[in-house]
């Protein structure tokens, strides 16, 4: 079955990705993304993130097969019927039904545990592997771009700091989101082969996971470049790669700390 999920997807958090995940269990998901104009028309406020950035984020979600920009309602312009449409604003749902399309309520799974994403993705013998580590607390297009570039060095494993370690490194109030939620969001990015939660502490909290993954490359951005990481990679014979922190061409630079209350 073909599923259309429609919305603005402005600063998409875990409830929005849960919606995509549940819709993807029914069939191939096309996101009918509201254009900047349509989002303001429907919600009464201009989106905080521009259309190109919202589209880039959605296209990176492994639950999404395609993204099309919607300039007006109804959804007839998305494709030939029959289409099933998941979720959405009540007024939007009414417009969809008037167009003769079915509206499915898939919910957001808010009361359920976060599902593991691609749990069967194991280490593949003979394939280069790359690892990145970090908190990844407020997933944004800067993270997506980092994962996209890091994946060029091999199957990408993202080791997220456990909650206790993040608090010890960054102080009370961190992380903003628990490990299982952060792992769900990171694992939903199609450039990520697998997301795991680190068991260790300190800047080398992922050492146990790295022993299991046995990566060919350890990739960091300029902010994450630490002498301890360099020395660790040198001792293990792991290529140490430092990427410049640059956004996807045409998109604004993003940092998690700047997005709080954005």
Are both 42 and 146 inside the same structural domain?
no
Are both 163 and 89 inside the same structural domain?
no
Percentage of the chain modeled with pLDDT above 90: 56
Are both 45 and 136 inside the same structural domain?
no
Q: Which of 104, 139, 170 is the last residue of a domain?
A: 104
Quick one: the chain helix, strand, coil %, rounded to 5? 35, 20, 45
Residues 165 and 201: beta-carbon distance below 8 Å: yes
Nearest to 58 by CA among 29, 81, 90: 29
Domain count, the chain: 2
Contacts of 154 (CB under 8 A, 6+ apart): 127, 128, 129, 130, 215, 216, 217
* Spatial distance between the Cα atoms of 118 and 156, rounded to a whole number of angstroms: 13
pLDDT at residue number 48: 92
- In this structure, is residue 145 part of a structural domain? yes
Are both 21 and 69 inside the same structural domain?
yes
* Spatial distance between the Cα atoms of 250 and 160, rounded to a whole number of angstroms: 28
pLDDT digits (tens, 9 = 90+) for 192-239: 999 999 998 988 899 999 998 999 999 999 988 999 999 999 999 999
Q: Whole domain around residue 136: which residue ranges?
A: 129-259
- In this structure, is residue 115 part of a structural domain? no
Scanning 77-190, the segments in alpha helix (DSSP H) are 90-98, 141-150, 163-170, 179-187
pLDDT digits (tens, 9 = 90+) for 142-192: 999 999 999 999 999 999 999 999 999 888 888 999 999 999 999 999 999
- In this structure, is residue 119 part of a structural domain? no
Region 11-38: mean pLDDT is: 91
pLDDT digits (tens, 9 = 90+) for 11-21: 889 989 998 99
The Cα-based distances of 90 to 13, 26, 63, 68, 105 in angstroms read 20, 21, 24, 21, 11
pLDDT digits (tens, 9 = 90+) for 74-104: 665 555 544 566 655 667 777 777 777 777 7
Count of alpha carbons within 13 angstroms of residue 76, beta-carbon side: 6
Region 7-30: mean pLDDT is: 90
Are both 179 and 227 inside the same structural domain?
yes
């Amino acid at each position: 079955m073909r599923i259309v999920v429609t919305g603005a997807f402005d600063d998409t958090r875990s409830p929005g990705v849960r919606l995509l995940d549940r819709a993807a269990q029914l069939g191939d998901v096309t996101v009918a993304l509201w254009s900047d104009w349509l989002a303001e028309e429907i919600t009464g406020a201009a989106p905080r993130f521009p259309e190109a950035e919202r589209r880039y984020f959605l296209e990176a979600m492994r639950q999404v097969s395609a993204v099309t920009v919607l300039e007006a309602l109804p959804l007839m312009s998305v494709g030939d019927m029959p289409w099933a449409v998941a979720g959405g604003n009540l007024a939007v749902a009414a417009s969809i039904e008037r167009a003769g399309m079915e509206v499915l309520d898939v919910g957001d799974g808010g009361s359920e545990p976060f599902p593991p994403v691609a749990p069967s993705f194991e280490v593949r013998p003979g394939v280069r592997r790359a690892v990145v580590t970090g908190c990844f607390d407020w997933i944004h297009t800067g993270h997506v771009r980092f994962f996209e570039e890091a994946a060029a060095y091999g199957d990408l494993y993202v080791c997220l700091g456990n909650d206790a370690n993040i608090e010890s490194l960054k102080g009370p109030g961190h992380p903003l989101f628990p490990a299982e939620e952060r792992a769900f969001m990171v694992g939903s990015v199609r450039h990520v082969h697998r997301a795991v939660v680190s068991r260790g502490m300190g800047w080398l909290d992922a050492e146990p996971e790295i022993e299991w993954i046995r990566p060919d490359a350890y990739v960091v951005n300029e902010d994450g470049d630490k002498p301890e990481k360099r020395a660790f990679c040198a001792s293990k014979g792991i290529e140490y790669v430092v990427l410049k922190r640059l956004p996807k061409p045409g998109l604004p630079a993003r940092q998690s700390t700047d997005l709080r209350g954005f």
